[in-house]
Amino acid sequence: MKVYDVVPGLEFDAERDLAQSPAWFLDATHSVPPWTPMFGWFWINFCRHGMQYGAEKLSLPTVHGWDWRFMNGGGYLTLLLVKSEEEKQRREVEFRKAILPLIKDYDGIWNGFVKEVLGRYKKLKELDVDTASNIELLDNFEETINTCRRMWEIHMYMMYGTYTAYILFENMCRELVGIDDTSPSFHRIVSGFDNKVFQVDRRLWEFSKIASDMGLEDVFLKNEEVDIREKLEESDSGHNFLKQFREFLNEDGWRMQRMSEINLPTWVEDPTPALSMVKQFIQKGGAFNLDEERKKISVERIETEKEILAKVPSEQRAWFEPLMRLAQKSGIFSEEHDHYLDLYTHAMMRRSALGMGRRFVKAGAIDDHEDIFFLIPDEVRRAGINPGQFDLRYIVDRRRSEWLEWQKTPNPPAILAEGFDLDQAMGVLVKSNDPIALKVVVGSMPQVRPELKADLYGTCGSPGVAEGTARVIVTEDELHLIKEGDILVAVSTSPSWTPVFSMISGVVVDRGASLSHAAIVGREYGIPVVMNVFEGTAKIQSGQRIRVDANLGAVYILDK
Amino acid sequence: MAKKWIYWFDEIGSDFNDLVGKKCANLGEMTKLGMKVPPGFAISVDGYEQFMEESGAAKEIQSYFHENRAMMSLVGKQVEASREIRRIIESKSLPKEMAQELRHSYETLCHQVGIPDLAVAVRSSGAVSMPGQMETYLNVRGKSELERKVTQVWASAFTARAIAFRLEKNMDIAKAPIGVAVLKMVNAKCAGVVLTVQPTTGNLNKVVVEGNWGLGESVVSGEITPDQFIVDKASGSCETTISPKNKMVCYGQVGTRVAEVPKHLQCEACLAPDELSEIVRIATDVENYFNLPQDMEWVIDQDLPFPENIYWVQARPAKYSKVEQDESVYLADLMSRIFRM
């Protein structure tokens, strides 16, 4: 029955869609575990829109962006390739003009976008969703939809632009200096920068010091994460601490525990994840100094820059240096955009949707306010102004049971046409030269080097060597299991995981490339990251001792 | 009671421009920003006017102009007028009450710094830019010498160039709003300028620091080739060019003199690495605060330990030429090629 389509118009249809493209890839970074219907609707519609918008605005010579489909809570994607040589040439001429503003005034453009979205968020937050009229509330919801759409336009325009610069820089490093993006010295050049996500991290570290100064260390150390807030409320100083902490959260806490989902509370609603990060910093003790750690990395970067620049012929330096600066900004953008764009917008979506949900519960349209995540915007609109006139529970029930089914069986990593294999499919991705496909999704293929006798082979995301206890993490809510010195093993990581990077000694991820989250953050924290090992989460078990040598791209399981 | 005409730097800021002149207002603004400027005080335009009235100089000048008005547009006459007016002003001593106040402020300054008969710089501080009105007296010691130099700075408002300028701009010839800055002489190890933009290329990613041994005059006047440090804002990496520096400006018994740089220092960098990075850090902070590239003057005091030894004496928006960035077009071209592979 068509009424139950989660993303009308973009549900995966094997017959038609495989005829359009022979390979569809699961976006495992964002849609495992499967999305709620509400979130899937937003992502499929607008991430798809943003990619095509960005590719078109920049006139990318070889791709029109990506096409997306929804299947059982998973996002499936394929490339929209530019077909004729003639069209490629025409687009290339346009591209050279379209990319110029980003080269000339990158910061001005990015800062302008940040200002624009923060202005939109501010307006959305101005409405008290609990006292507003039904019409105002629905209006707020519609504006949230528009904000999400706009957010993805900015997101993908910026991402395509910066990653293109990054790839060029990488190519030029290979050509002129003889290093590529799996080389440790390459990584040193693109790390050691401040960005918004680290600033938030730093605030949390500062709060750990404030807590110690206020004599609240024990409240953090002797209580379970979930109880910390309540225990803090019991004393005057704890109450004071929470007051300051809430002010900080109102500024910077509009983010999700899971980056690409809205069914978990934001930090503003539930400060437990943020408080547990404060706790982790307290556990590290007073001697730990985040600033010092970060300074070390930036000093290393400056040294490496000198070495690299010295190898570039002097007549090439005039453009090589600005290119290096642009490439360095892609690392900063990769981190920072999550804070200003994805996480913040998703927090706004949750806020508005839950406002609707509470209204619907009051009017009897649904039973629980969180059931709103099993509806899609068209159905929210159906009951938006007159929730008392509609009973939406039959939709919620059916969607919830489907959603629970999706959780049980993992979505296939790729859906391929008959006679088409994964290698061929990967080949198409690589040949597209799509900057996002290359730098986030596919990455370089690991080289298997039998002489190393390693258990897993991957590529270097961040240089270094580490040995420690493996901790396999599937979803964000398991992050608190991580202990100081552990080596994190995951399919991939996302920005809400960033704070644990200050505790762990290394990372192994199944998938990813040099601009994936794990690589960028690993470099900033100076810990080794091995990427693209494909079977890390399958072969490694929590508690095993492992050794990672990111420089060689090798992982060893020490107690098999 | 007469109007207040002496201000400590922490009492003023950029909104005091008309009252104390640009230089003093700037020193006040830097003090507000928390930058370390040499301790001292400003003499306002009111002080100048009070002096001109009470000493009778204003009347004499007025009548001089009145008598010679017809010939004033002749260059030769302007030179003569300048000489005559400066003679009139410099021949007047400070009225008694004003002298007491100035002496009191000077004593307070000496006391603050802990040095009796402290050597100070007496600098003109015009409220509007006026060429040739930049009279400065360095290494001024003692109360009576200070009084003399203050009147000399006031007199310097009447250089021939300044008179010609006022004529050209149709300004009142007899009036000259001029403030005076009186500040501690820094016992300079070295001094120079910092620009938070490369002035020749307009490259906003670079900070250019130039310096020489001794006082900053040798760098500002462009008489010698100073050491140059070009620092990248993002990475902090630095290109250093050490020039052989054979001359420097030092204190003389009175005022300043040009001296030979000792042989072993001529080819040494005049700034230590930590001094350089602190200068760059503060300059970029100031740039960020005003959101404009800055042109600033610094002095390193040889009597103080790092980082207290860095003094600032000037901060103003930098002048630079924007050049068309050809490499942008070239980069766009290179970027388009990666889609061909």
Percent pLDDT > 90 in chain B is 39
The pair phi, psi for residue B315, each rounded to 5°, is: -150, 120
Q: Is residue B339 part of a domain?
A: no
Q: Is residue B324 part of a domain?
A: no
For A33-62, what is each residue's pLDDT tens digit? 899 999 999 999 999 999 999 999 999 999
Does A464 have pLDDT greater than 50? yes
pLDDT of residue B97: 92
Question: What tokens appear for A260 in the block?
Answer: 């690409």
- Pair (B216, B175) in one structural domain: no
pLDDT of residue A477: 75
Chain A residues near any Cβ of chain B (below 8 Å) = 60-62, 88, 92, 95-97, 99-100, 103-104, 164-165, 167-168, 171-172, 193, 298, 301-302, 305-306, 309, 318-319, 322-323, 325-326, 328, 433
Question: What tokens appear for A171 in the block?
Answer: 């190519």
- Pair (B102, B21) in one structural domain: yes
Q: How far is B325 from chain A (nearest CA, A)?
A: 8
Average pLDDT, chain B: 86
- Pair (B123, B177) in one structural domain: yes
Which of chain A's residues have a Cβ under 8 Å away from the Cβ of B330? 319
- Cβ distance A325 to B325 less than 8 Å, yes or no, reads no
Q: Which of A96, A175, A320, A324 to mutate to test the interface with B (most CBs of B within 10 A)?
A: A96
Which of chain B's residues have a Cβ under 8 Å away from the Cβ of A298? 236
**For the CA atoms of chain A, what is the radius of gyration?**
24
Give the confidence band of A2 by pLDDT, cuts at 50, 70, 90.
very low
Using an 8 Å Cβ cutoff, are A547 and A528 in contact? Answer: no
State which of A339-353, A521-535, B302-316, B327-341 shows the largest mean pLDDT: A339-353
- Pair (B34, B144) in one structural domain: yes
Percent pLDDT > 70 in chain A is 98
What CATH number does residue B164 fall under? 3.30.1490.20
- Pair (B178, B219) in one structural domain: no
Give the confidence band of A512 by pLDDT, cuts at 50, 70, 90.
confident
- Pair (B172, B200) in one structural domain: no
Q: Give A282-326 as a DSSP string.
A: HHH-TT--HHHHHHHHHHHHHHHHHHHHHHS-GGGHHHHHHHHHH
A8: Cβ contacts below 8 Å, ≥ 6 apart: A2, A376, A378
Q: Is residue B323 part of a domain?
A: no
- Pair (B139, B208) in one structural domain: no
Quote the domain boundaries for residue B128: 6-184
- Cβ distance B330 to A319 less than 8 Å, yes or no, reads yes
Domains of chain A, by residue range, sit at 1-100+410-441, 196-291, 443-557
Q: How far is A45 from chain B (nearest CA, A)?
A: 27
Stretch B194-209: mean pLDDT, rounded? 85
The total number of structural domains that make up chain B:
2
- Cβ distance B339 to A323 less than 8 Å, yes or no, reads no
- Cβ distance B331 to A88 less than 8 Å, yes or no, reads no
Q: How far is B217 from chain A (nearest CA, A)?
A: 33
Q: Which of B201, B204, B235 to mutate to test the interface with A (most CBs of A within 10 A)?
A: B235
Last residue within a domain, chosen from B152, B184, B216 = B184
- Pair (B180, B97) in one structural domain: yes
Helices A317-337 and A106-126: crossing angle in degrees, nearest 10, is 10
- Pair (B206, B301) in one structural domain: yes
- Pair (B157, B223) in one structural domain: no
Contacts A–B by Cβ distance under 8 A: 72
Q: Which of B338, B340, B341 to mutate to test the interface with A (most CBs of A within 10 A)?
A: B338
* A553: nearest Cα among A508, A497, A504, A496: A508
- Cβ distance A99 to B332 less than 8 Å, yes or no, reads yes
Q: Is residue B332 part of a domain?
A: no
Cα A320 to Cα A336: distance, rounded to the nearest angstrom: 24
- Pair (B156, B18) in one structural domain: yes
Q: Is residue B338 part of a domain?
A: no
What CATH number does residue B290 fall under? 3.30.470.20
- Cβ distance A319 to B331 less than 8 Å, yes or no, reads yes
Fold exhibited by the domain A443-557: Glucose Oxidase; domain 1 (3.50.30)
- Pair (B192, B161) in one structural domain: no
Which of chain B's residues have a Cβ under 8 Å away from the Cβ of A188? none
- Cβ distance A168 to B235 less than 8 Å, yes or no, reads no
Using an 8 Å Cβ cutoff, are A182 and A513 in contact? Answer: no
Among A96, A298, A301, beta carbon nearest to B332: A96
- Cβ distance A92 to B339 less than 8 Å, yes or no, reads yes
Which of chain B's residues have a Cβ under 8 Å away from the Cβ of A100? 328-329, 332
Question: Strand, coil or helix: what is B336?
Answer: helix
B222 burial (CB, 10 Å; 0-12 / 13-18 / 19+) is exposed
Cα A531 to Cα A459: distance, rounded to the nearest angstrom: 5
Chain B residues near any Cβ of chain A (below 8 Å) = 205, 234-237, 325, 327-336, 338-341
Give the residue carrying structure tokens 């620092």. B231
pLDDT of residue B129: 65
pLDDT of residue A1: 44
Q: Is residue B325 part of a domain?
A: no
Stretch B86-115: mean pLDDT, rounded? 92
Stretch A417-423: mean pLDDT, rounded? 86
Q: How far is B199 from chain A (nearest CA, A)?
A: 16
- Cβ distance B338 to A92 less than 8 Å, yes or no, reads no
- Cβ distance A60 to B236 less than 8 Å, yes or no, reads no
Residue in chain A closest to B341 (alpha carbons) equals A433
**For the CA atoms of chain B, what is the radius of gyration?**
23
pLDDT of residue A459: 86
